[in-house]
Structure 1
Amino acid sequence: MSPSTPAPLAFDPTDPVALTQALVRCASVTPTEGGALALLAAVLSAEGFSVERPVFSEPGMPDVENLYARIGSEGPVFVIAGHTDVVPPGDLAAWTHDPFAAEIEGGTLYGRGACDMKGGLAAMTSAAIRYRRENPDAPGSIAFLITGDEEGPAVNGTVKLLAWADARGERFDHCLLGEPTNPAAMSDMIKIGRRGSLTGKLTVQGVQGHVGYPHLAQNPIRGMVRLLAALDATPLDAGTEHFDPSNLEVTTLDVGNPATNVIPAQAKAVFNIRFNDLWTPQTLSAEIERRLCDAAGNAVRYEIVFEPTNAVAFLTQPGPFVTMVAEAVSAETGKRPALSTTGGTSDARFIKNYCPVVEYGVVGQTMHQIDERVATADLVTLERITHRLLATYFAAAQQA
C-alpha cells in the first residue's frame, strides 16, 4: 500500500478550522486512508517533524496505514493521539450538506468525522504547530500517534503502532487523546478512564415438538428466561469512586421459529456488559458462569461463550497531569470540567499500557450521525486549550 501524495497546502495549518476542513474532505472511511494521513504527514513534515507511515497487516483483516511523528529528541515526550478513519456516511440523500465537502454554515462545520474525530485532531495539531513555531528551542518532544483503524476492528491500528514505537525505543510520558468527550459544551468533561466491554453468547437447548403435546417437548424459552433473570437479579456491583455500576444489557434474543404451533429446539441470547475497574474480563466471565450454573441446576441445558475482548477497564488516577488538563480547560472556558469514565471504549485502552492518558475533545452530540458537525468556535477553543496545556506542560518540565 503506497501512501498517496497530497497537493501543496493552500492554508495555514495553525488554523484549526481550515485544517479540519482539509481532513474532512479526505474520504477516509475505515479502513481506507483516503488521503487523511498523507495530509497530516505533509503538514507535520513541513513543520520539522520526522514522520513515518507504518502499515500493519493481519490475516483476514484489511491492511491499515498509520502515522507516527515526532519533533524533539529529549524528554518529556507529550503524545497527541487520535484517528483519521471515519464511519460510513450512510444515506447521502439524508445529509443537508455533502459529508465530505466540509461546508460551513452559520458557524457550524458539517461533515463525516467533523467531531469524531478529525476536528479534535486538527485543533490539537494546529496547537502543537503553533507552540513549536513560538518555541523552536523548547525542551522535550511532541509526538503524534495516529491510526486509520479506530472505527474498524482496531487490530492493525493503535495497538500495533504502540508496539512498533516501543520496539524502536520510543518512550512516552503523557498522552492526550482527542476523542469528542464533551456532551454539550467545551467546559463539560474530561475522560480519565473507560469501562471495559465483555460480550457473552448464551444458548439454551430444548426439545422441539408440537405445542399440543408439550409433554413430548422441552421449551428452551423457559430456561432462557430463567437464566437471564438470574443474571439480572443482583447488581454486579455498586460502582466505585470514579465509575458507575457495571451494567449488563441483553442485546438480542431469538429462537428462529416462524411457526406458532411448534415448540422451538433452541433459544439464543447475546448480552454485553460494560464493567468498571472492579472487574477484569476473566473475573467477570467467572461470575457470569457461576450465576448461570446456580440458576440452571439440572433443569436447563445451556452453553455460554464469551467473545475475545481487549476492552478492559482502566483509570488514569487524578494527579498533576489530570489537574493540568482540567486547569487548561478552565482557563479557556471559565468552567472546571467534570472527570468522567462514562461512554464506550476508545484507543486509550491501549495507550494506558505505555503512559498515563486522558481524553479531551470537541462536543460529541452528532458523532456517527447524519449531518455530523462541529462548531467552528469549539475548534478554536480546543486549539487554545491544547496550546495552553503544551506551554504549561513543558514549562513545568523545565522547572523540574
Structure 2
Amino acid sequence: MTAVDPVDLTARLIRCPSVTPDEAGALTLLADLLSEAGFECTRVDRNGTANLFARWGAKGANKSLGFNGHTDVVPPGNAADWRFDPFSATEAEGKLWGRGACDMKSGVAAFVAAAVDHVRKTPPDGALVLTITGDEEGDATDGTVALLDWMAETGETISHCIVGEPTCPTVMGEMIKNGRRGSMNAKIVARGVQGHAAYPHRAKNPVSALVRLLDHLARFSLDDGNANFDPSTLALTSIDTGNPATNVIPAQSTAALNIRFNDLHTGESLSQWLHAEADKVAKETGVAFDLKIKVSGESFVTNPGWFTDLVSDAVEVETGRRPVLSTSGGTSDARFVKSICPVVEVGLVGSSMHQVDEHVEIAHIQQLNAIYARIIAAYFDDA
C-alpha cells in the first residue's frame, strides 16, 4: 500500500460534513483506508453515535500504542460569513480551510497516515490502536466512553495513548498537554415566595438570596494551584429570573456556573461545598435552593517520565522547540482515556478552532505527521 498523504486525507475528511453527531462518511472513509492497510476495524456505535476502533498487531500485545481523536465538528454557523465554503477544504495561501481543519480532522489524518506508514515495521508483540469518535463535540457520553466500555468488555488494551487535539497556543511545537483540569457545571434554582414589591416583608425574595449566594461563591478562593496546575476557577455563566413585571417579587430565579478544578479537589468534594454554601444562605433567608450538578471530568496528570520525554523528543526534533508540559485549557477526551493508561495530548496550533474561517497551515499537518511517525518509531524502539 502506498503512503497516505495526510494533507489529502485531511481535505477528504473536511468534505464530510460531520457536524456532531452526524458521521457523514468520515469514519467510513477511515475504516476503508485502515482496513486496506491491514488494520482490524470495528464500528462501536452507541445510541446513534458512530465510533471506530482499529488495531494492527496482536490483541493484548505487551506494547500497544494508542491514538485517540474525533471526526465530529461544531456547526459552521452562517456559511455566508466564511471566506470559502466551510466543507470545501479549499487550499489557499499555504493553508487548508474548512470546518474541522484545525479541530481536529488534521490531527486524525496525521496519526492515521503515520500509523498506516508504520504498520509493516511494528514488532510482532506490538500493536497500534486507533480510537476515533464522532461524539467529542457533543455530549461525549457515547463516543470515547463507549469505545472504552467496549474495550473493557472485549479485552482490548492500550498501554499508552496520544490524543491528537490542538495543543499549541501560537507556535507549532511549543506545548503538549500532560493533564487537564476537571470541569463541572451547576444549575442553581432559588425558590422563594412571590409578593408585591411594595411589601417585601410578605415575600421571600429568591433574587436577593441567589445574588448573596453567587457573590460568596464568586469571591471565594478555591486554592492557589500547585506544581502541576494553575489555581482552580469558578465562573458565573448565567443569571435568569424572567420577570417582566417591575412591581412583583418573583417566586423563582436561576443561575449557572462552571468550575475548572485542579487535583486539590474532586467533583464530589466541590459538589459538597456548593450544597453546604447553599444550605447556609437558605437558613439565613428562608429561600430554598435546588442544585443540579454535572461533572464533565475529573482532573488528571500524567507525571513526567520516559513517555513524556519520548513525545517531547519527537516534537523537538521535528520543530526545533522543546515543548512545555501543560495542564491548561479546557477538557478533551483524554479525561476518559486516562482511566486505562497514561495519556498525553500533542497537536497543532489551535488558534482558529471553532471559528469562522477555521484553517490549518498545510506545512503544520505534514510536520505533525512527522512527529507522530517519530513517536511510533521510538515507542517500538525502531527510531
TM-score bracket for this pair, using the shorter chain length: over 0.9
Equivalent pair of 1:202/1:302 in contact (CA under 8 Å): no
2:88 corresponds to which of 101, 126, 129? 101
The 1:300–1:198 alpha-carbon spacing in structure 2 relative to 1, beyond 3 Å, is farther
DSSP 3-state at the match of 1:238: coil
Deviation at residue 208 of structure 1 after TM alignment: 2.3
Equivalent pair of 1:13/1:43 in contact (CA under 8 Å): no
Structure 2 CA distance for aligned equivalents of residues 356 and 158 of structure 1: 15
Deviation at residue 54 of structure 1 after TM alignment: 2.1
Aligned to 1:181: 167
Aligned to 2:197: 211
Alignment of 1:133-144 (within 5 A): 133=120, 135=121, 140-144=126-130
1:85 pairs with 2:69:
no
Deviation at residue 13 of structure 1 after TM alignment: 5.2
Paired AA for residue 364 in structure 1: G
1:126 corresponds to which of 95, 113, 135? 113
Structure 2 stretches lacking a partner, 5+ long = none
Structure 1 CA distance for aligned equivalents of residues 206 and 38 of structure 2: 65
1:68 pairs with 2:53:
yes
Structure 1 CA distance for aligned equivalents of residues 99 and 206 of structure 2: 44
* Deviations 1:299-333 (CA, angstroms, capped at 9, x unpaired): 24131313333411111111110111111111111
2:358 corresponds to which of 361, 372, 390? 372
Structure 1 CA distance for aligned equivalents of residues 123 and 202 of structure 2: 83
Deviation at residue 207 of structure 1 after TM alignment: 2.8
The 1:137–1:357 alpha-carbon spacing in structure 2 relative to 1, beyond 3 Å, is closer
Structure 2 CA distance for aligned equivalents of residues 209 and 301 of structure 1: 14
Equivalent pair of 1:79/1:175 in contact (CA under 8 Å): yes
1:387 corresponds to which of 367, 373, 377? 373
1:46 corresponds to which of 36, 39, 50? 36
Aligned to 2:320: 334
The normalised TM-score by structure 2 is 0.95
Deviates more, 1:170-179 or 1:48-57: 48-57
Equivalent pair of 2:190/2:254 in contact (CA under 8 Å): yes
Deviation at residue 367 of structure 1 after TM alignment: 1.0
1:298 pairs with 2:284:
yes
Structure 1 CA distance for aligned equivalents of residues 24 and 39 of structure 2: 22
* Deviations 1:233-266 (CA, angstroms, capped at 9, x unpaired): 3201111211111111111111111112222222
1:147 pairs with 2:137:
no
Equivalent pair of 1:200/1:304 in contact (CA under 8 Å): no
Deviation at residue 295 of structure 1 after TM alignment: 4.1
- Please give the root-mean-square deviation of Cα atoms over the aligned residues, in Å: 1.8
Alignment of 1:168-317 (within 5 A): 168-317=154-303
Aligned to 2:22: 32
Q: Following superposition, which runs of at least 4 residues in structure 1 exceed 4 angstroms of deviation?
A: 136-139
Deviation at residue 123 of structure 1 after TM alignment: 0.8
The normalised TM-score by structure 1 is 0.91
Equivalent pair of 1:187/1:336 in contact (CA under 8 Å): yes
Aligned to 1:110: 97
Equivalent pair of 1:204/1:300 in contact (CA under 8 Å): no
Deviation at residue 296 of structure 1 after TM alignment: 4.1
Equivalent pair of 1:178/1:359 in contact (CA under 8 Å): yes
Paired AA for residue 27 in structure 1: P
Alignment of 1:338-377 (within 5 A): 338-377=324-363
Structure 2 CA distance for aligned equivalents of residues 310 and 223 of structure 1: 27
Equivalent pair of 1:102/1:110 in contact (CA under 8 Å): yes
Structure 1 CA distance for aligned equivalents of residues 181 and 374 of structure 2: 29
DSSP 3-state at the match of 1:81: strand
Equivalent pair of 1:174/1:355 in contact (CA under 8 Å): yes
Paired AA for residue 168 in structure 2: N
DSSP 3-state at the match of 1:67: strand
The 1:174–1:86 alpha-carbon spacing in structure 2 relative to 1, beyond 3 Å, is same
DSSP 3-state at the match of 2:49: strand
Paired AA for residue 65 in structure 1: A
Structure 1 CA distance for aligned equivalents of residues 280 and 358 of structure 2: 47
